[in-house]
Structure 1
Amino acid sequence: MNQASIKHMVIFNLHAGKDTLEAEQFLKSSAQELAAIPGVEQFEVFRQVSTKTDYDFGFSMVFADKAAYEAYNVHPVHTHYVAERWVKEVSRFQEIDLSIFE
């Protein structure tokens, strides 16, 4: 069995709300920081348009394999981001990690 790539997705709300300058700044700076971590591919930022959920935003990224995914999770930029930005600015979230069916 080949090592499958992994899609990491998170949907979330911000304490700052969804239509604020603070939210815009959070999304832009998060994309810059996280997309630059080695192993991160196809980083995308989403805004919710459905009324079927009450989450406002989403991030999605792909990792080539489990090793790249695990390296991301312990990378100093990621751990600092989680401690200094995510925990303080995100009010709620749901995370999902899936191997890509090939």
Structure 2
Amino acid sequence: MITHTVTFRLAHDCGSAAERDFLDTAHRELSAIDGVHDFTINDQVGAKSDLTLQFSMVFADQAAYDAYNVHPAHVAFVSERWVPEVAEFQEYDYVLHKG
């Protein structure tokens, strides 16, 4: 199992119609891709980061994650929405610790 997270800040004002449209579109389009499970959108509440939002999703295995990365809906979202609207981001992918 892989947990894929991306923490980011939009170029839009928090609470704006543009922010809502971006998040609604992301949820609708990305969560519909085969292999995506538990898609969530989270708000940053800590004072230690200016990255204000996070997407989190789970994939059963590396093959499902790889298929997501090249899926036409994901590729289109990244080029049409992510690149022009995200000001800054950090991406993290996790598997359960083997300890």
Given the two structures, how large is their TM-score scaled by the length of structure 1? 0.92
**Structure 1 CA distance for aligned equivalents of residues 94 and 40 of structure 2:** 16
**Equivalent runs, 1:80-95 vs 2, <5 Å:** 80-95=76-91
1:29-80 per-position Cα deviation (integer Å, ceiling 9, x unaligned): 1111000000000000011111111111000000000000000000010011
Q: Secondary structure at the match of 1:8?
A: strand
Superposition deviation, residue 17 in structure 1: 2.2
Structure 1 spans left out of the alignment, 5+ residues: none
Q: What is residue 13 of structure 2 aligned with on the other side?
A: 17
Following superposition, which runs of at least 4 residues in structure 1 exceed 3 angstroms of deviation? none
Q: Secondary structure at the match of 1:100?
A: coil
**Structure 2 CA distance for aligned equivalents of residues 27 and 47 of structure 1:** 11
Superposition deviation, residue 28 in structure 1: 1.2
Residue of 54, 58, 74 corresponding to 1:58: 54
Identity of aligned residues (%): 47
Superposition deviation, residue 16 in structure 1: 0.8
Superposition deviation, residue 19 in structure 1: 2.2
Aligned residues: 98
CA RMSD of aligned residues (A): 1.0
User: Is residue 79 of structure 1 aligned with residue 75 of structure 2?
Assistant: yes
Structure 2 spans left out of the alignment, 5+ residues: none
Task: Identify the range of structure 1 (18-27 vs 85-94) with the bigger mean alpha-carbon deviation.
Answer: 18-27
